[in-house]
């Protein structure tokens, strides 16, 4: 098989790149390890930056998002029942949109189907070859047979555990990581959201988050030690713990009798791999970087990578310009590191760290007090939350 761009990974990053390339007249093949049902069954983020919303509209996949997505002009921080609302729209002129990653992926699948996009599911990539040449090759297995795709470029959109990052030689690749000593226990419920906007709650028992996917589906999280097991958390225990951590008036109205659709525990890490390009191989999304979910940046960072990568490939194939290819890694990483900083900062001030001493706990409180009293600090938070410009 031959194509112009081989895309490894059929999640939202890979599908969005394929859609945008198609609209630019550039051929691609997407190779996905899992089945379509598995990909659509993954529960992920739901807060979209203004830039991500604009890119989805550019890709022609925004009809359902524009109809069903919720526009949020702000969010709240609760500090041991002290409440602070961050006025995103008032301070930046931009809102965020609450629309689940699963729905974004579903819309992208529909668009690729309508345009005849080639997506090979349940295909295990076993080798990435000749990345330093103009004819890199993806070798994959499907149904017990080995297949090869020859391309001009390979886009690694295959997540943290995928093979593309490992195809960059260790002498070239440099990785930066911060592992956090806790995770998020999440519960998805068919119930009315606890609040009209997200609430990020800092509490002596640990962090909590009230979020949503729609007017009828809610998403909640509580911070837990990494040693916690999902089977030790029946729904009643989760609800009781969440109510202890969120503001009293919100807890009193929390609808905790709705159908539980999903529960899971996710570890938190900050991670960046440099560079994001090696020869004819590019990394985008979680294959090149991970952020803790506190700042709602994971999917949005993947979208910004695709913004830069699509434009680089469009210029290469349609305008014979190599500039975007050469500068892709530096441009993408500049925005990645700023988002890593923001997500690290949000995580640092809102979570209870087991190793923190009394001084560090006072510093957390001072951070919140300064934020509450400083319009400049709130404006900085709002600017980062709605998304830095591409």
CB 99 within 8 A of CB 70: yes
d(CA 286, CA 301): 9
Coil, helix or strand for 176?
strand
- Residue in 180, 200, 220, 328 annotated catalytic: 200
Cβ neighbours of residue 357 closer than 8 Å, sequence gap 6 or more: none
Chain centroid, CA 86 distance in Å? 21
Place of tokens 């028992």: 205
Separation CA 19–CA 131 (nearest Å): 23
Catalytic residue among 220, 293, 308, 310: 293
By C-alpha distance, which of 228, 222, 231, 229 is closest to 254? Answer: 222
Could you say which of 297, 310, 331, 351 is catalytic?
297
Among this protein's residues, is 293 annotated catalytic?
A: yes
Q: Which one is catalytic: 99, 109, 220, 385?
A: 385
Of these residues, 72, 278, 289, 351, which one is catalytic?
A: 72
Based on the residue annotation, tell me whether 297 is a catalytic residue of this protein: yes
How many Å apart are CA 49 and CA 297, to the nearest integer? 8
94 is catalytic: no
Q: DSSP character for 4?
A: S
Q: b or e along 354-381 (b: 16 or more beta carbons within 10 Å of the residue's beta carbon)?
A: eeeeeeeeeebeebbeebeeeeeebeeb
Active site residues: 72, 200, 293, 297, 385
């Amino acid at each position: 098989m031959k194509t112009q761009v081989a895309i490894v990974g059929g999640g939202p990053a890979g599908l969005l790149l394929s859609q945008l390339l198609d609209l630019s007249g550039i051929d691609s093949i997407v190779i996905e390890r899992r089945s379509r049902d598995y990909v659509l069954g993954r529960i992920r983020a739901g807060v979209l930056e203004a830039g991500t919303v604009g890119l989805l509209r550019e890709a022609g996949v925004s009809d359902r998002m524009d109809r069903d997505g919720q526009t949020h002009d702000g969010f709240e921080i609760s500090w041991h029942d002290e409440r602070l609302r961050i006025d995103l729209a008032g301070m930046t002129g931009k809102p965020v949109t609450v629309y689940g990653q699963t729905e974004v992926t579903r819309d992208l699948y529909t668009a690729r189907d309508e345009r005849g996009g080639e997506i090979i599911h349940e295909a295990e990539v076993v080798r990435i070859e000749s990345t330093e040449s103009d004819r890199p090759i993806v070798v994959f297995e499907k149904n017990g047979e080995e297949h090869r795709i020859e391309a001009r470029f390979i886009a690694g959109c295959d997540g943290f555990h995928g093979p593309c990052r490992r195809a960059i030689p260790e002498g070239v690749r440099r990785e930066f990581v911060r592992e956090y000593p806790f995770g998020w226990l999440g519960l998805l419920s068919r119930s009315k959201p606890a609040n009209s906007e997200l609430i990020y709650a800092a509490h002596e028992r640990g962090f909590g988050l009230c979020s949503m996917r729609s007017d009828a589906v809610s998403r909640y999280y509580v911070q837990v030690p990494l040693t916690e097991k999902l089977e030790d958390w029946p729904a009643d225990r989760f609800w009781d713990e969440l109510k202890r951590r969120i503001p009293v008036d919100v807890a009193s109205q929390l609808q905790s009798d709705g159908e539980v659709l999903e529960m899971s525990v996710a570890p938190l890490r900050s991670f960046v791999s440099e560079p994001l390009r090696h020869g004819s191989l590019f990394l985008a999304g979680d294959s090149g970087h991970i952020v803790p979910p506190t700042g709602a940046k994971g999917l949005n960072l993947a979208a910004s990578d695709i913004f830069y990568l699509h434009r680089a490939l469009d210029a290469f194939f349609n305008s014979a310009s190599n500039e975007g290819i050469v500068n892709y890694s530096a441009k993408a990483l500049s925005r990645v590191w700023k988002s890593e900083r923001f997500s690290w900062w949000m995580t640092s001030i809102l979570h209870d760290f087991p190793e923190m001493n009394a001084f560090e706990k006072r510093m957390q409180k001072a951070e919140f007090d300064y934020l509450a009293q400083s319009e400049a600090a709130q404006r900085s938070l709002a600017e980062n939350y709605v998304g830095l410009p591409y």
